[in-house]
Chain A
Amino acid sequence: MQDTDHHPLPDAKQYCPTLALRKANEEGALLVDVRERDEIEALALDVAGVINIPMSEFERRHAELPRDRLLVLVCAVGERSLKATYLLMYRGYTQVANLEGGLAQWVRKGFPVKGDSTAVAAGGCACAKAIPAAGSGRC
């Protein structure tokens, strides 16, 4: 067999905010926010057990994350966190999921945040154009 760096990955699991919050509250899932520090200062998830590892440090620091807990990756709209989710899958993490629609969807659902919720609606990252239309990420 050819020696290769390619490990085919299945599609990442996508959680809606309702499922993510339930997993955090009832099953001890950790929410991993990969937004940068300035974004988190403006608006943060108001849930116990949130871990912040900015995307710019994620490749170097992802090993800090436990392998025996469900991890739900979060960013502003769910694009950077999807990449982070796949990186963890590539590195052998099996209990990982992406928060579909990111913090924008979380805010639309009225879930708990600290800070100015317009910060995320204004587009906290370069991929802001990918914010789904209101209601399209319903679950």
Chain B
Amino acid sequence: MKDIKVLGTGCANCKATIALIEQVAKARQVEVKVEKVEELREIMGYGVMSTPGVVIDGKVVHAGGIPGRDKIEQWLAA
């Protein structure tokens, strides 16, 4: 199971990012655990200045803006 964290202080883009990841995971039948990280100190513990940020299995794969569907598909296929 992929451990996914979405970093952001609760903005609309963060919520949209979570929804999109869950949607793609469901469509591709990939098991994921998606967690929101909203506390600034925790977010900055990944060195991410632009949110939403996405962390998969401990690695930052995205920072700033809603990621594209194709990008999410690549993450989940890897």
Contacts and interface: CB of A to CB of B under 8 A. Distances in A.
A78 to B, nearest CB: 12
A104 to B, nearest CB: 19
Q: Top 5 A-B pairs ranked by shortest CB distance?
A: A4-B58, A86-B44, A90-B47, A5-B60, A59-B49
B46 interface: yes
B45 interface: yes
Q: Name the residue in A2, A3, A4, A6 with the highest tally of chain B Cβ atoms < 10 Å from its Cβ.
A: A6
B30 interface: no
Given A87-B47, A90-B45, A2 B58 contact: yes
B60 A83 contact: no
Interface string B38-70: 001100111101100001011110000000000
A5 B40 contact: no
A51 B56 CA distance: 36
A7 interface: yes
Tell me which of A3, A4, A12 has the highest count of chain B C-beta atoms within 10 A of its own C-beta. Answer: A4
Given A8-B45, A90-B46, 15 more contacts: A2-B57, A3-B59, A5-B47, A5-B55, A5-B59, A7-B47, A9-B45, A11-B41, A58-B49, A59-B50, A83-B40, A86-B44, A87-B47, A90-B45, A91-B47
A53 to B, nearest CB: 13
Contacts, number: 45
Interface of A: 2-9, 11-12, 58-59, 82-83, 86-87, 89-91
A4 B47 contact: no
A6 B59 CA distance: 8
B58 A3 contact: yes
Contacts of B45: 6-9, 86, 90
